[in-house]
Amino acid sequence: MKHLLDIGDLDAAAIVHLLDLTDHMVEINRRPMPKVPALRGKTVVNLFFEDSTRTRTSFDTAARRLSADVMNFAVSSSSVNKGESLRDTIETITAMGVDAFVVRHSSSGAPTLITRWTNASIVNAGDGWHQHPTQALLDCYTIRTALQRPTGFDGLRIAIVGDVKHSRVARSDVQAFTALGAHVTLVAPPTLLPPDTSGWPVDVSHDLDALLPDLDVVYLLRMQRERMRDALVPSLREYTARYGLTPERAARLAPHALVMHPGPMNRGVEMAVDPAELPGSVVLQQVTNGVAVRMAVLFELLGSGSDLPADTETGTRP
């Protein structure tokens, strides 16, 4: 694997392979000194053209735990603001000697375009409405560990609720969850669904209440108000009344059901309950797992495969 651009490029076996590798990274992260020399001498550049705190710091932490050198380019302080083109930015940084770019961009397809201008590996950290493959992997990892499904999601019922239309997380998660065998239902008002979902391997519903008791996972999406040009819901209060996770709805979930959210969360809108008070909430596990999944991806792209230090207890290598 040279790049990670689109979760659709990975089949079920490739996803499971990365999740297995993530198990080893979780073990490393639990050590008193959570750092290994696997990517010593490699340079990873975080190039974020869109605001992000959690994804950028997650990639940053992941690269450092593998001992890579990390450069962070925030676009607000870069020459992009002096009119430099994306191509010139990439070629200039490549000339400094770089092994991977982690790219977030508001335009769909930007990470794929960049592969033409550099020989470094590209990791898509979110492009427009299109893809967010490491989010899909960390979500799969979180479900797999929390529901003890090491080999696949056959029979799992997952609802993805809310602003599907603007969501690269929804597009990526649908592909990954269904590749692993889950049954996915999109739940949203018609204005927050893509215009045509006929090619999507999902069911569509406008009635969250009817589905609740049968769900294994309820995945709430952020209302992406910065991407909306028009008012797509009458009011946020009305949205919450029909599609938000209220205390009454949370009480109707099965005892084992998981509640997930990619963050950042609009408290009181998608979630009208405090996730800390929900037994099924794995929102913080998603964040923790994000670091381990990104370590696995960087190691897969840049590691030689043999230099991941052995598990101190079992002596096994991935």
- Binding interface with ligand NCD (CB under 6 A): 54-55, 126, 132, 135, 168-169, 222, 224, 262-263
Whole-number minimum distance, CB 256 to ligand NCD, in Å? 25
Whole-number minimum distance, CB 125 to ligand NCD, in Å? 8
**Which residue number is nearest to ligand NCD in terms of Cβ?**
222
Q: Which is nearer to ligand NCD, 22 or 134 (CB)?
A: 134
Furthest C-alpha separation in the chain: 58
**Among all chains, which residue has been given the structure tokens 């092994």?**
99
Task: List C-alpha distances in Å: 101 to 9, 118, 286.
Answer: 18, 9, 23
Q: Which is nearer to ligand NCD, 262 or 275 (CB)?
A: 262
Determine the Cα–Cα distance for residues 5 and 18; give it in Å rounded to an integer: 15
Residue 261 and residue 54 in contact, taking contact as beta carbons nearer than 8 Å = no
Residue 103 and residue 124 in contact, taking contact as beta carbons nearer than 8 Å = yes
Burial of 40 (0-12, 13-18, 19+ CB in 10 A): exposed
Report the SS3 class of residue 100: strand
Q: Which is nearer to ligand NCD, 3 or 104 (CB)?
A: 104
Q: Which is nearer to ligand NCD, 94 or 288 (CB)?
A: 288
Determine the Cα–Cα distance for residues 128 and 104; give it in Å rounded to an integer: 8
Overall size of the chain counted in residues: 318
Whole-number minimum distance, CB 103 to ligand NCD, in Å? 13
Burial of 67 (0-12, 13-18, 19+ CB in 10 A): middle
Whole-number minimum distance, CB 126 to ligand NCD, in Å? 5
Structure-token pair, residue 235: 């009011």
Whole-number minimum distance, CB 265 to ligand NCD, in Å? 9
Q: Which is nearer to ligand NCD, 157 or 171 (CB)?
A: 171
Nearest 5°: phi and psi at 124?
-80, 115
Q: Which is nearer to ligand NCD, 24 or 294 (CB)?
A: 294
Whole-number minimum distance, CB 224 to ligand NCD, in Å? 6
